Structure 1
Amino acid sequence: MPQPPLVSIICLCYNHERFLREALDSVLAQTYPNLEIIVVDDCSTDGSVGIIQEYVQRHPQLRFISTGRNMGNTKAFNMGWRASKGQFIIDFATDDVLLPERVSQQVKLFQDLPPDYGVVYSDAEYISDNSVPLHLHSQKYKAAPDGDVFAEVLGRYFICPPTMLIRREVYEELHGYDEALAYEDFDFWVRSARKYKYAYLPQVTTQRRLHNSSLSSGWYRQGNKLLASTVIVCSRAAEMIQTEQEREALVRRLKYEARHAYLTGNFNEAEQLLQLLEQVAGMPFLYGFVRQLNRHKIDLGFLRRLYLRLRNRQ
Structure 2
Amino acid sequence: MPDSVALPVVSIVALCYNHARFLPAALDSILAQSYPRLEVILVDNASTDGSLAVMRQYAQANPTWQLVEQPRNLGLCAAFNQAYRLSSGEFLIDFATDDVLLPQRVTQQVAAFQQLPPHYGMVYSDAELIDEDSRHVRFHFRRTPQGLHPRPASGYVFADVLRRYFISTPTMMMRRATLDELGGYDETLYYEDFDFWVRAARNWAFYFLDEITTQKRVHPQAMSRRAYRPGDPHLTSTIQTCRKALRLCQTPDEWVALAVRLRWEMRQAIRWGSNADAAILYELLRQTGQPQPLDWLLGQWSHLRAKAS
**What TM bracket, shorter-length normalisation?**
over 0.9
Matched, 1:145 2:148: no
Please report how far the alpha carbon of residue 217 of structure 1 lies from its aligned counterpart in structure 2 after TM superposition. Answer: 2.5
Please report how far the alpha carbon of residue 263 of structure 1 lies from its aligned counterpart in structure 2 after TM superposition. Answer: 1.3
Please report how far the alpha carbon of residue 219 of structure 1 lies from its aligned counterpart in structure 2 after TM superposition. Answer: 1.1
User: Could you tell me whether the CA contact under 8 Å between 2:102 and 2:213 is conserved in 1?
Assistant: yes
User: Could you tell me whether the CA contact under 8 Å between 2:259 and 2:291 is conserved in 1?
Assistant: no
Please report how far the alpha carbon of residue 46 of structure 1 lies from its aligned counterpart in structure 2 after TM superposition. Answer: 0.5
Secondary structure, in 3 states, of the residue corresponding to 2:35? coil
Matched, 1:241 2:244: no
Please report how far the alpha carbon of residue 268 of structure 1 lies from its aligned counterpart in structure 2 after TM superposition. Answer: 1.3
Please report how far the alpha carbon of residue 221 of structure 1 lies from its aligned counterpart in structure 2 after TM superposition. Answer: 2.1
Please report how far the alpha carbon of residue 294 of structure 1 lies from its aligned counterpart in structure 2 after TM superposition. Answer: 1.5
Aligned to 1:53: 56
Name the CA shift for 1:63/1:296 in 2 (closer, same or farther; >3 Å).
same
Q: After superposition, what is the alpha-carbon deviation per residue over 1:181-211, rounded to whole angstroms, capped at 9, x for unaligned?
A: 1111111000000000001100000010100
Name the CA shift for 1:281/1:86 in 2 (closer, same or farther; >3 Å).
same
Moved more, 215-224 or 73-82: 215-224
Matched, 1:89 2:92: yes
Please report how far the alpha carbon of residue 214 of structure 1 lies from its aligned counterpart in structure 2 after TM superposition. Answer: 2.9
Name the CA shift for 1:213/1:38 in 2 (closer, same or farther; >3 Å).
farther
Aligned to 1:106: 109
Aligned to 1:157: 165
Matched, 1:179 2:197: no
Q: After superposition, what is the alpha-carbon deviation per residue over 1:266-293, rounded to whole angstroms, capped at 9, x for unaligned?
A: 1111011000111112532101111232
Moved more, 233-242 or 136-145: 136-145
Please report how far the alpha carbon of residue 116 of structure 1 lies from its aligned counterpart in structure 2 after TM superposition. Answer: 0.4
User: Could you tell me whether the CA contact under 8 Å between 1:258 and 1:270 is conserved in 2?
Assistant: yes
Distance 2:125 2:303 in 1: 42
- Pairing of 1:233-312 with structure 2 (within 5 A): 233-297=241-305
Distance 2:7 2:102 in 1: 19
Q: After superposition, what is the alpha-carbon deviation per residue over 1:45-98, rounded to whole angstroms, capped at 9, x for unaligned?
A: 011001011111212122100122111100000011111000000000000000
- Pairing of 1:97-136 with structure 2 (within 5 A): 97-136=100-139
Distance 1:10 1:217 in 2: 25
Q: 1:4 pairs with 3, 7, 12, which one?
A: 7
Secondary structure, in 3 states, of the residue corresponding to 1:242? coil
Paired residue type of 1:188:
F
5+ residue gaps, structure 2, are 143-147
**Which aligned runs of 4 or more in structure 1 are off by greater than 4 angstroms?**
none
Distance 1:126 1:6 in 2: 28
5+ residue gaps, structure 1, are 299-314
Q: Identity rate of aligned residues, in percent?
A: 48
Aligned to 1:304: none
Computed over aligned residues only, the root mean square deviation of the Cα atoms, in angstroms, reads: 1.2
Secondary structure, in 3 states, of the residue corresponding to 1:135? strand
TM-score by length of 1: 0.92
Please report how far the alpha carbon of residue 5 of structure 1 lies from its aligned counterpart in structure 2 after TM superposition. Answer: 0.4
User: Could you tell me whether the CA contact under 8 Å between 1:265 and 1:297 is conserved in 2?
Assistant: no
User: Could you tell me whether the CA contact under 8 Å between 1:149 and 1:193 is conserved in 2?
Assistant: yes
Moved more, 259-268 or 5-14: 259-268
Moved more, 137-146 or 155-164: 137-146
Aligned to 1:306: none
- How many residue pairs align between the two structures? 298
Q: 2:27 pairs with 20, 24, 34, which one?
A: 24
TM-score by length of 2: 0.94
Name the CA shift for 1:144/1:282 in 2 (closer, same or farther; >3 Å).
closer
Moved more, 268-277 or 280-289: 280-289
User: Could you tell me whether the CA contact under 8 Å between 2:39 and 2:87 is conserved in 1?
Assistant: yes
User: Could you tell me whether the CA contact under 8 Å between 2:256 and 2:290 is conserved in 1?
Assistant: no
Aligned to 1:305: none
Distance 1:281 1:177 in 2: 29
